[in-house]
């Protein structure tokens, strides 16, 4: 039984595609489960929480309803297909850049929060939220300290506390978290800071 966090399944018979997507998902501070064939998936029944399914377009057409019925206890299920020859604003294309893939994944994952809760995690203090916002906007620790009139040591402590409370260590992951929790908007993100 999986927990209530967003769980990502990557359905891919191709090890190269799986590993490429997995590395990008790790950059977002998330994890993923590889499903190499549809039979492997049958063990994941009665799953709770939000589920993102990444799969080839032809698998979605063939197995989409089977996958969804296996996850009937899940709070929310969303699909994002990938294609070798069809470009799409919403689904992944095999020739998308890393930033395009990240943007599409962030949009799909942020849709979960729109359906569940717009609340900022209770454990973060208002000052930690201020620090998180600046981290997500690409500020350095020194710039955060200057902006909030605190010492660099205090800014580092806030960053550490935020990571411990959210379980997210990377800047790109914290940025996605800030978008999901509506602390910042996607249009405010400088994608150069996510590399």
Same domain, 176 and 97: no
150-174 average pLDDT score: 89
Question: What would the pLDDT profile of 41-68 be if each residue is shown by its tens digit?
Answer: 877 766 667 889 999 999 998 998 888 8
Pick the last residue of a domain from 115, 149, 170: 115
Same domain, 106 and 153: no
146-165 average pLDDT score: 91
Task: State yes or no: pLDDT of 117 exceeds 60.
Answer: no
Predicted confidence at residue 147, as pLDDT, reads 93
Predicted confidence at residue 1, as pLDDT, reads 31
Q: Is residue 135 part of a domain?
A: yes
Task: State yes or no: pLDDT of 92 exceeds 90.
Answer: yes
Q: Is residue 108 part of a domain?
A: yes
Q: What is the CATH number of the domain that holds 190?
A: 1.10.10.10
Predicted confidence at residue 86, as pLDDT, reads 75
Paired tokens of 8: 């990502």
Predicted confidence at residue 25, as pLDDT, reads 92
Task: State yes or no: pLDDT of 79 exceeds 50.
Answer: yes
* Cα dihedral 67→69→74→75 (10° resolution): 110
Predicted confidence at residue 73, as pLDDT, reads 66
Q: What is the CATH number of the domain that holds 111?
A: 3.40.50.2300
Predicted confidence at residue 66, as pLDDT, reads 85
* Number of folded domains that form the chain: 2
pTM (2 d.p.): 0.57
% of residues, the chain, pLDDT over 90? 35
Structural domain boundaries, residue 148: 126-194
66-81: buried (b, 16+ CB within 10 Å) or exposed (e) per residue? ebeebbeebebbebbb
């Amino acid at each position: 039984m999986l927990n209530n966090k967003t769980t990502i399944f990557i359905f891919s018979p191709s090890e190269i595609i799986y590993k490429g997507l997995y590395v990008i998902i790790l950059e977002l501070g998330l994890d993923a489960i590889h499903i190499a064939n549809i039979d492997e998936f049958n063990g994941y029944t009665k799953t709770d929480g939000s589920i993102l399914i990444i799969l080839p377009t032809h698998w979605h057409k063939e197995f989409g309803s089977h996958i969804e019925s296996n996850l009937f206890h899940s709070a929310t299920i969303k699909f994002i297909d990938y294609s070798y020859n069809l470009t799409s604003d919403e689904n992944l294309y095999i020739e998308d850049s890393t930033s395009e893939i990240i943007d599409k994944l962030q949009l799909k994952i942020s849709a979960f929060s729109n359906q569940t809760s717009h609340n900022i995690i209770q454990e973060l203090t208002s000052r930690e939220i201020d620090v998180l916002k600046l981290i997500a906007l690409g500020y350095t620790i020194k710039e955060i300290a200057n902006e909030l009139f605190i010492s660099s040591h205090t800014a580092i402590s806030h960053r550490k506390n935020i990571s411990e409370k959210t379980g997210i260590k990377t800047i790109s992951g914290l940025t996605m978290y800030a978008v999901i929790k509506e602390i910042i908007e996607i249009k405010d993100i400088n994608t150069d800071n996510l590399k």
